[in-house]
Amino acid sequence: MLHILVCVLSGLTAIPLLAILGEVLIKGWRQLGWSFLTEATPNAYKAMMAMSAGETIPGGIANGIVGTFLMLLVAAAVAIPVGIFCGICLSEYRKNWFATIVSYLTDLLQGTPSIIIGIITYIWVVVPTKGYSAFAGSVALFIMMLPLIIRSTEETMKVLPETLKEAGLALGGSYWRVMLKVMLPSALGSIFTGILLAISRVVGETAPLMFTALGGAAISWNMAKPMSAVPLLIWEFFNDPNLQSLIWGASLFLLTFVLCLNLLAKRIAKKWKV
């Protein structure tokens, strides 16, 4: 009796996934095309004109794609080394009071709502530099990624056998050499998985970018200026009735990207299990 109930209720949890995937796919696949991915978002006036003429809205989400990748790149370039080093530190000094505090604070930071990260980056970066910028967006994404990378590095380094390190040290390797050339490479598969999951987690974040990167209609490569991102564009389309027909294409792009990253991370985790 109980097992039937368990199976039915468990099966029901698959429905939202299928419903969301189906909805986004059905409404979005027609829009996804070369021009959608390579052209910038039209302004509301152009979109309105096209709509009243009965044509499809010109343009696409290229400004968001460029922005998302650029901001992620900058954020990841800092978060990955800092996160890995911090993770190594936490696993090396695990009995130390300082490491215990840092470990709890990492959990705390990981649980902090993304909107708070947005506010704090606004206070720290946007206010002093007197303007919204892609750089501020990167800082927000950095703060979001950091605890995720630290956790995955720490957990992986903790399960590596102590004998591995001892063997390296016994062969006369210096401490840093053993850590970077023996321990880190053995953990690389899992750490890489952690990085992919961290990226897939932040790539869809809207809240921390709203008051930092702000958004912009043109394709921009300037980190000191406001920049758009795909989730920001979705939010923009949601609020602008003229651009609403672009929303599903953008969502399909984002969803495909995030879910592929997720599946890739799972595949890698299975293959390179420590």
Partner 1 sequence: MQDKIFKGLLILSAIVIPVIGGGIVYSLTNDAAGAFERFGFFHFIFSDDWVTTAGKESYGALPFITGTLLTTILALLMCIPFSLPVALFTGEYFKGRKIATVLGTVTDLLAGIPSVIYGLWGFYVLRSVFIHLDLSPQGSGILTAAFVLAIMIVPYAASLSAEFVKMVPSELKEGAYAMGATRAEVIKRVVFPIAGPGIFSAYILAIGRALGETMTVTMLIGNTNQMPDTLRTTGNTMASIIANQFGEADGLKLSSLIAIGLLLFLITAIINLIGKILIRRARRV
Minimum distance from residue 204 beta carbon to partner 1 (Å) = 3
Residue 118 or 137: which CB sits closer to partner 1? 118
Per the CB < 8 A criterion, the answer to whether 104 and 40 are in contact is no
Residue 70 or 178: which CB sits closer to partner 1? 178
Minimum distance from residue 37 beta carbon to partner 1 (Å) = 18
Residue 70 or 234: which CB sits closer to partner 1? 234
The DSSP result for the chain, as a single string, is: -HHHHHHHHHHHTHHHHHHHHHHHHHHHTTT-SHHHHHSPPPPHHHHHHHHHTTPPPP--SHHHHHHHHHHHHHHHHHHHHHHHHHHHHHHHTTTSHHHHHHHHHHHHHHHS-HHHHHHHHIIIIIHHHTS--HHHHHHHHHHHHHHHHHHHHHHHHHHS-HHHHHHHHHTT--HHHHIIIIIHHHHHHHHHHHHHHHHHHHHT--HHHHTTTB--SS----TTS-B--HHHHHHHHHH-GGGGGGHHHHHHHHHHHHHHHHHHHHHHHHHT--
Which residues, in sequence order, are bridge partners of residue 227?
214
Minimum distance from residue 168 beta carbon to partner 1 (Å) = 13
Minimum distance from residue 34 beta carbon to partner 1 (Å) = 23
Report the 3 state secondary structure along 33-52: CHHHHHCCCCCHHHHHHHHH
Minimum distance from residue 20 beta carbon to partner 1 (Å) = 5
Minimum distance from residue 73 beta carbon to partner 1 (Å) = 19
Joined together, the tokens standing for residue 135 give: 């750089």
Residue 70 or 196: which CB sits closer to partner 1? 196
Residue 73 or 101: which CB sits closer to partner 1? 101
Joined together, the tokens standing for residue 98 give: 């300082």
Residue 186 or 244: which CB sits closer to partner 1? 244
Residue 181 or 221: which CB sits closer to partner 1? 181
Residue 7 or 224: which CB sits closer to partner 1? 7
CA–CA gap between residue 214 and residue 229 (Å, rounded): 9
Joined together, the tokens standing for residue 148 give: 């995720």
Minimum distance from residue 270 beta carbon to partner 1 (Å) = 10
